[in-house]
Amino acid sequence: MVIRELSHRGPAGRRKSASNHPSTVRDLINRGARRLTRAKVFYGHGTDNAVDESAALVFHALSLSHEAGATVYAKRVTAAAQERAEALITRRIDERIPAVYLTNETWFAGLPFHVDPRVLIPRSALAELIEQQFTPWIDPSRVRRVLDVGTGSGCIAIASAMVFPRARVDAVDISKDALEVARINVRKHRLGRRAAR
């Protein structure tokens, strides 16, 4: 069975694809969410629903910042940008690759991290504990050393370095590939002097 997107007839009877109509960022997100829902993709690697997943992919494809505010959703999108966003959503559906591996970005403890298939996608329950500096169980002012074994992307080590600014952080892993990703994130957060790998 072949499924094709319906098209519209333009002036003089020419066929015009629905995707060629001027779209806003909001339109692209909503259209992507409908496609993801129909495809029954699995969520849980940074998002838990089709709208958020579509928004992450659209924002990445269009190089938009989530800090741009609500007005960004009404922004008109060029045909080329629209094609990029739709192609990324198509990959998400067809290849079943987690969105964060397609965008190479995820968030942990309120911080952005580079991720790719060399590392697991951060989902640790430690994020909230780190953000709270493990209080009331420890005195944050006394933390001088942190060891993250099996660091992967380095998210736990880096988040710990951010909340414990006086601590030296050691991040270790048996995987050289994982350590390469961790180094990317150490540089991203400018922690080279404090986080040893």
Per domain, the residue ranges of the chain are 13-102, 106-196
Q: Does the structure show a pLDDT above 60 at 9?
A: no
Find the mean pLDDT for residues 184-192.
Answer: 92
Comparing CA positions, the residue from 97, 142, 134, 137 lying closest to residue 117 is 97
- Dist CA 62 CA 81 (whole Å): 6
The tens digit of pLDDT for each residue in 66-86 reads 788 889 999 999 999 999 999
**145-149, strands of its sheet edge to edge:** 145-149, 168-172, 195-196
Identify the pLDDT of residue 193.
66
Find the mean pLDDT for residues 44-53.
Answer: 91
Helix spans in the chain (H): 25-39, 50-61, 79-95, 99-103, 126-131, 155-163, 176-188
Find the mean pLDDT for residues 37-63.
Answer: 94
Query: Binning pLDDT at 50, 70 and 90, where does residue 111 land?
Result: very high
Query: Binning pLDDT at 50, 70 and 90, where does residue 28 land?
Result: very high
Query: Binning pLDDT at 50, 70 and 90, where does residue 11 land?
Result: very low
Comparing CA positions, the residue from 47, 12, 17 lying closest to residue 29 is 47
Q: Does the structure show a pLDDT above 50 at 7?
A: no
Query: Binning pLDDT at 50, 70 and 90, where does residue 35 land?
Result: very high
Q: Does the structure show a pLDDT above 80 at 8?
A: no
Q: Does the structure show a pLDDT above 90 at 186?
A: yes
Between 44 and 12, the more confident residue is 44
CATH code of the domain made up of 106-196 = 3.40.50.150
Answer whether the bond into residue 11 is a cis peptide, omega within 30°.
Answer: no
* Global confidence as pTM: 0.80
Please state, for a pLDDT cut of 70, what percent of the chain lies above it. 86
The tens digit of pLDDT for each residue in 120-151 reads 999 888 999 999 999 999 999 999 999 999 99
Find the mean pLDDT for residues 13-34.
Answer: 74
**Under 8 Å CB-to-CB from 159, ≥6 apart: which residues?**
108, 109, 111, 127, 130, 131
> What value does the mean pLDDT of the chain take?
87
Identify the pLDDT of residue 123.
84
Comparing CA positions, the residue from 108, 95, 121, 106 lying closest to residue 56 is 106
Residue 172: CA count within 13 A, CB half-sphere: 5
Long-range contacts of 77-83 (CB under 8 A, 24+ apart): 77/22, 77/23, 77/24, 77/25, 77/27, 77/28, 79/20, 82/19, 82/23, 82/28, 83/19
β-pairing verdict for 15-17 and 7-9: antiparallel
